[in-house]
Chains A and B, each alone.
Chain A
């Protein structure tokens, strides 16, 4: 019965922000994580306890080509359809503007873009940095019969007084309906910040329902089957390195493998983040060129680790990157109380540890460093997101 009910629940579901259910880790896995954290704390962040298990040493991580087939980038279209379904159900009660809030690696921008394509909505381009610094409204769509979509609200402001005023003007106009109907994608950290700074109404915010262990299993099993179908072969068995049991056991949350339950809980139910961990943990033991029937899921999370004692400037850098959903190098001095050179030096140190990454001059917290950074900011009592 429970399995049937589980299967009846849609895989992709958009819900009001306050109705998102965080997957819970079992007490044993929480205790194990705390023990590892204590070890890191006592050893000032050294790599103690992070040695791979003996059997993992015999395995090798999957090559990129095989990963591209077996765990391709997430297709957010079903999420976009779930958003369209939610908006259709909500009707006028959704208000003129709906904000889709998502954690940094959880695809809110891709989902809003997909929604715009599905519904023929206008995609509003990102504003120029000069306009943000001048305090201009980042977007000012003319009201029309067609809805508009902003995939990344976080690109529409900088944390400085002038720019904040520009964003306030935009959101006031949007939320009162003066700009017509629209959907805004918003990073969960930006949302947390703007809720404090601009007192945004929570009722306007929706999010993807969290992917608990069962949902994650269904998603990963489907992508593995689809990958096998593309090569006209059988899907490989994926076994846990620790137990040797299959990790993609279909069923309800209780019958889900411990590995995927823990992964879902560790990632706070964020599919985009879990996907990064999944790719990083898949291993095989076959020489290159042969497609093995059995793959292994490594026990270790392979996360980027922070140093034992993180200085204040690094903390401010990481917090700033998260609040802005990543930042262009040139804009760092506009939002940080220290020089460009010091900011870059700090970022490069964090980059060497894999905590941040830089893509075409834009810095962001790396997906496999995100949970460590979030824990650090929470411990230091900085503002953190709700997801």
Chain B
């Protein structure tokens, strides 16, 4: 039983980290209509900034640098490139982000090289134990932080002018614009927010139980895509739910790999995508997506 619980908690805490990334996808998509293929590189960039600045300025200031840096990268991508697209539409924007991803990832890979950059997080390799279950402290912190962040986002989107403006802009851009909401500002806010979430996810993805900053961290953003999609493209709560589902399903598939061996070796790697396809077949708009996002 404690084994089952361990795997469940592992899955849920990792799922919350995925949710941070998935929410970034959702926020960028709703505020500017861009499928952000460069999100993984932004996650890596945030973690990289923390890792290279923490030896000189200490961990917590470095976290601030990482968060601000990732947010700045997002804002710059939006202001310099997305807003200047020759044919602004979701297809060209997605490919544009691929170009950005190639640039960012190549440069970061070159800088990181063969090294495994330690993040210097104060929780090191500590573990929290309770009732026969042990969880890495980093994961527990990630889960707590994610809950706080999502509560903050909920507050922002439902109670503040900026958040409501963003929702209005997402629901109907031209009308929102007519009503005095500046789309350039809501777009920039969305990209900045996504950058902040990406940097936070990057910190937890590269601290224990992961070894440190390595280029393959950028790949984990791909795992967040099923989470985002199955939650519903335009929904931040959906992204949270999607992350939890994907984290849980993956952890249990891996944890019970021996019992599931008839499904083929490495089934845990495809199960997120299978879940995504099945959910889309039953509910094309995703678990919590708004109906009008899909016109059938």
Instruction: Tell whether A and B belong to one assembly.
Output: no
State the B residues within 8 Å of A (CB): none
State the A residues within 8 Å of B (CB): none
